[in-house]
Structure 1
Amino acid sequence: MPVSTTALLPLLLIALLLGLAGCAAQAPPAPPVAPPPPPAELRDIQTLPQDVAAYFDALSLDRPLLSARAQADMAARLRELHFAPWHRAKPAHARADALWGLAGLAANRHYGENLRPLGPEFRVQMEALCQAESYPNLMRPAIATANTSLRVLPTQRPGFLKPDKPGEGYPFDYWQNSALLAGTPVLATQLSADGAWVLVEGRVAAGWVSVRDIAFVDEAFMAQWESLPLAAITREGAPVLASFADEAFPAAHLFAGRIGTLLPLLDTGVWGSGGDASGAGGPTLLAPAREASGRALSLAVRLNPDEAAPVPLPLTPRTYARLANQLMGQPYGWGGYLENRDCSALLLDLYAPFGIFLPRNSRQQSRQGEWTSFAELAAPAKEALLLERGQPLLTLVYKPGHIMLYLGRKDGRAVILHDVWGLRTKSEAGKEGRYVVGRVAITTVTPGAEVPEVVRSGLLLPTFDGMTNVGAPPVAAPALAR
């Protein structure tokens, strides 16, 4: 017997409701709420004054941190080391150390700018250019005529390790050894096979530079430069210009002066207190230039009153802050990559105007004074010892691979100035990463304490090895970074 449509309606409605209930039960669960992203800026950088002078009271801002005698002795040592490359009878490095980059190529572990392996053909090319069997084939005194890079190999091409690994890849170009500031005396020890690159040794480091960025000096040039007192550039980026009696082209840009640049001083101009020049007359310095023949020229250059000062500047918190604050926030640059500074280059350049020599790398710097070990101390005890014995602006804090400057205390915490790439992170799943800071900053000794991924990986303070007072005599002769 056929069933009427009217009779089927209740059954159809029940089936429809049961079907909808079944669909709802089978729907995928709502995705879990994603954890909040890490803060765009470290809390320390947001809350701490990014001004060195803010950590000193008004009465201490102009108080010298070292005696005039101590600074004079340190400045004499810096001067001797600065010009030392011109007087070496042989290279500071044996062949294997001077050309150590060739050994690093054997493993074929490096990647180029396209993040592809460099390959064996790159190694063959570098070996041919270095012509190691002829080392040293040059041995001529020279001078840097531009701000340039000291390269591990005679190439501008980068050498990255494992680009997808945290702490490797950009900006860690392992063919970048250091930076070379214009006006730095060097010893040229090796010419590349194509004549485009020269291996040089400077005050603190060695490496390959483009032949266009150096000029060869003679006895008269060296005698003139060594007979004059030194001046330090005190304004980052100050243009160093050569003047010409030509209305159409009155001046030529030689290079940008950088904090850390040292040049001979011809005339001081009119100087005020605290290392500041006042009045209309600025200082006149000597600057190097390169002739087409490769010979060095010595040119008199006039700077503005606030752009240079005689070495050593008085080491007071105010003067140090005036230099350091110009570099605050500057990008991090491994080995001087892209003309930026890394942690040790920051301190090397900041101390030079005060006549204080520092070697190139962080471990060497940590031994250039009176060393205090943090071995066997727990993290809170390390900070307590730093607060007790640390001398603001004279104490360097060291951990393997990183160097920092102690500024003093803020709200009971130790505060440091450093140039840092990033802080190690670890996800809940255990994956390693980096919280990138990437610049010069003032922080506590536990930056990132508010970031769970940083805390999970481990804060900075527990890794501190010790501290050194650079105002004390060094315990050993400085080593030249290869």
Structure 2
Amino acid sequence: MDTTILTPSEITIFNQKNIAADPTLYDVNAIPDTLSRDELVTKIRSISRVSKYERIYEDGTPVTKADWARYESMLNLAGIRKENPVRFALAIKRTAMRTYPTHDLLFSAGAQDRDIERFQESALFPGDAVAVLHQSRDKKWALVQSYNYIAWVPMTSIAIGKKKSVFAYKEAKDFLLVTGDKIRTVYNPVEPRVSELQLDMGVKLPLSRPENLAHNLYGQNPYLSHMVKLPVRNEDGSLGFKHALIQRKEDVHVGYLPMTHANIIRQSFKFLGERYGWGHRFNGRDCTGFVSEIYKSFGIKLPRNSGDQGKSEIGINTRYGEDSPLLDKIKRLKTGKPGDLIYIPGHVLMLIGQSDGEPFVIHDVHGLGYLNKDGSFYKGTLNGVSITPVIPLRTNAKTTYLDRAYTIKTVK
């Protein structure tokens, strides 16, 4: 269980190969300094499109054609030039990535709850490097490209800097990695931008202890804390940096964690009981965000969405068609290793091992379905990170999760 699966140098090569081959992963540093009109429109339309499905607001009011026209106008398509400069930035706090440049909440018509919000796409975390491709009509939102997603974020959540400064920060060799589900920086009364800032699993921060701050940071002697450098947004929106403290008791690690099966299990269990958050909503994460943050602990970069992950050639993949025997999938799971990923349409589950020959998984899951002892179908809610057996799980009375499984992936 403690044998290294991939070494740090092997992970670097693994990421480089995947970024070069997978269309849903990006080397943000390699994005050109300008985009043509057609290139920029294509990128906007890769995320912002009027839904063909009926949508409602939180109070049940239908979203009208006029509402969609308002969202479309926010895209500022008229402001696109023949050549459009690309800027670069760092995220200064956890922030939502949105389908359109708005905080309006939209839901599927007929939705029984308000958990799946249709404009919620993903999230950025402190220190994430992005390319800033475009601004909304009101200048309050930026269309950004991260290493695995493109969407709209509030301008107040990023700080724009010189490309060299952005990537010097991102590529720092000496860094502290957040290995807990969530931690916070130490409170300070002087610099609120870095005081009690939430940091999620996988966030990577340069270690920095300059001589002039070695004995006093914001009125506190930092000798019993980690000192890190955090990006901040100046009044003009430009990038600055401030130091912050993280208590040594916090769940952090200098450098990436060793990639072992034991560490994969440990990292996954740290999220147990966290509420499900579609697209990282509710200050949580969804099924793909869950597995992605676990693998970020080792430096592994994965596509954002479960479909993109499941269809990608990343790792060692066992593929299944509609007519593949269920026993073949069960056999594959019974010989699988902790960290193997099981993909069904719209969901991903992580294998953690066997109990009495029964494969068990951990997953961040919204609904729950299985057959009762009398053969009736039970449909309920988990809405959080949960451990379950995989074989009994069903999407409906006739179909199991494994019936629908199309890929089982080993990340190595």
The partner residue of 2:237 within 287, 294, 298 is 294
**Does the aligned pair in 2 maintain the 1:374–1:465 contact within 8 Å?**
yes
For residues 41 and 124 of structure 2, what CA distance do their matches in structure 1 show? 21
What are the superposed Cα offsets for residues 52-109 of structure 1, whole Å, 9 maximum, x if unpaired? xxxxxxxx3x33333455345447779999993244114696514423555324x472
Partner of 2:129: 185
For residues 266 and 206 of structure 2, what CA distance do their matches in structure 1 show? 22
For residues 11 and 389 of structure 2, what CA distance do their matches in structure 1 show? 29
Answering whether residue 261 of structure 2 is matched by residue 314 of structure 1, we say: no
Q: CA deviation at 1:339?
A: 2.4
**Does the aligned pair in 1 maintain the 2:194–2:230 contact within 8 Å?**
no
For residues 344 and 108 of structure 1, what CA distance do their matches in structure 2 show? 23
The partner residue of 2:291 within 343, 347, 367 is 347
Matches within 5 A, 1:58-457: 60=1, 62-67=2-7, 69-71=9-11, 73-74=13-14, 84-89=27-32, 90=34, 94-100=40-46, 102-105=48-51, 107=52, 109-135=54-80, 139-164=86-111, 170-219=114-163, 221-222=165-166, 224-226=168-170, 228-229=172-173, 230-241=175-186, 252-253=194-195, 255-266=197-208, 281-305=224-248, 306-366=250-310, 367=312, 368-375=314-321, 376-388=323-335, 390-393=336-339, 395-423=340-368, 434-448=379-393, 456-457=397-398
**Does the aligned pair in 2 maintain the 1:75–1:311 contact within 8 Å?**
no
AA aligned to 1:116 is T
Partner of 1:13: none
- Pick the structure with more helix per residue: 1
What are the superposed Cα offsets for residues 129-173 of structure 1, whole Å, 9 maximum, x if unpaired? 111233475521111111001000011111211134x6xx52111
Q: Secondary structure at the match of 1:456?
A: coil
Q: 1:102 to 1:385 in 2, by over 3 A?
A: closer
For residues 410 and 109 of structure 2, what CA distance do their matches in structure 1 show? 37
Q: CA deviation at 1:439?
A: 0.7
Q: CA deviation at 1:212?
A: 0.8
Structure with larger Rg: 1
**Does the aligned pair in 2 maintain the 1:163–1:170 contact within 8 Å?**
no
Q: CA deviation at 1:413?
A: 0.9
Count residues in correspondence: 383
| TM-score normalised per structure 1 | 0.71
Q: CA deviation at 1:442?
A: 1.3
Q: CA deviation at 1:433?
A: 9.0
For residues 67 and 219 of structure 1, what CA distance do their matches in structure 2 show? 29
What are the superposed Cα offsets for residues 408-435 of structure 1, whole Å, 9 maximum, x if unpaired? 21110111111111135899xxx99942
Q: Which structure 2 residue ranges, 5 or more long, are not aligned?
A: 210-222
For residues 445 and 108 of structure 1, what CA distance do their matches in structure 2 show? 31
Q: Secondary structure at the match of 1:323?
A: helix
For residues 67 and 204 of structure 1, what CA distance do their matches in structure 2 show? 23
**Does the aligned pair in 2 maintain the 1:254–1:289 contact within 8 Å?**
no
Identity level (%): 22
Q: CA deviation at 1:299?
A: 1.7
For residues 432 and 160 of structure 1, what CA distance do their matches in structure 2 show? 26
Q: CA deviation at 1:292?
A: 1.1
Q: 1:189 to 1:67 in 2, by over 3 A?
A: closer
**Does the aligned pair in 2 maintain the 1:152–1:175 contact within 8 Å?**
yes
For residues 53 and 26 of structure 2, what CA distance do their matches in structure 1 show? 38
For residues 115 and 214 of structure 1, what CA distance do their matches in structure 2 show? 33
**Does the aligned pair in 1 maintain the 2:188–2:195 contact within 8 Å?**
no
Q: 1:260 to 1:91 in 2, by over 3 A?
A: farther
Q: CA deviation at 1:372?
A: 0.7
AA aligned to 2:307 is R
**Does the aligned pair in 2 maintain the 1:187–1:200 contact within 8 Å?**
yes
Structure 1 range deviating more: 146-155 or 226-235: 226-235
For residues 46 and 12 of structure 2, what CA distance do their matches in structure 1 show? 37
Q: CA deviation at 1:175?
A: 0.8
For residues 360 and 348 of structure 1, what CA distance do their matches in structure 2 show? 8
**Does the aligned pair in 2 maintain the 1:199–1:209 contact within 8 Å?**
yes
| TM-score normalised per structure 2 | 0.82
Q: Secondary structure at the match of 1:468?
A: strand
AA aligned to 1:183 is G
For residues 200 and 405 of structure 1, what CA distance do their matches in structure 2 show? 29
Q: 1:77 to 1:180 in 2, by over 3 A?
A: farther
Partner of 1:8: none
**Does the aligned pair in 2 maintain the 1:399–1:463 contact within 8 Å?**
yes
Q: CA deviation at 1:360?
A: 0.4
* Superposition RMSD in Å: 3.2
Q: CA deviation at 1:219?
A: 4.7
Partner of 1:469: 410
Q: 1:86 to 1:294 in 2, by over 3 A?
A: farther
AA aligned to 1:259 is M
AA aligned to 2:229 is L
AA aligned to 1:462 is D
- Pick the structure with more strand per residue: 2
What are the superposed Cα offsets for residues 234-280 of structure 1, whole Å, 9 maximum, x if unpaired? 22321125857x5xx7995262010021222336xxxxxxxxxxxx7
